[in-house]
Structure 1
Amino acid sequence: VKTRAARTGINPATMEKIEIAESKAPAFKAAKTLKDAVKGE
């Protein structure tokens, strides 16, 4: 799990600036077999 830093974003519908809070996101490193499967090898 990686922590994503707080940042400023923009609402594309209104062009209003908004603050995006710090959040946690899942993270992984793909194994060679997965990379090869995505490439179609």
Structure 2
Amino acid sequence: MTLLDSLIDEVGEDEDHPLASLMDIIGTLIEKYETDHVPELA
């Protein structure tokens, strides 16, 4: 989560930022992991 938090701080709301797509991918991967491995959060 620290990596995602850092990306959010860096990218902010700038969808054209070079790291915006990486931030989206990491967020999606974390969401998938939580859905699969932490059912009480789903």
TM exceeding 0.5:
no
Indicate the structure whose relative CO is greater, using CA pairs within 8 Å and at least 6 residues apart: 1
Which structure is higher in strand share?
Answer: 1
State the TM-score, normalizing by the size of structure 1: 0.24
Which structure is higher in helix share?
Answer: 2
The structure whose Rg is larger is 1
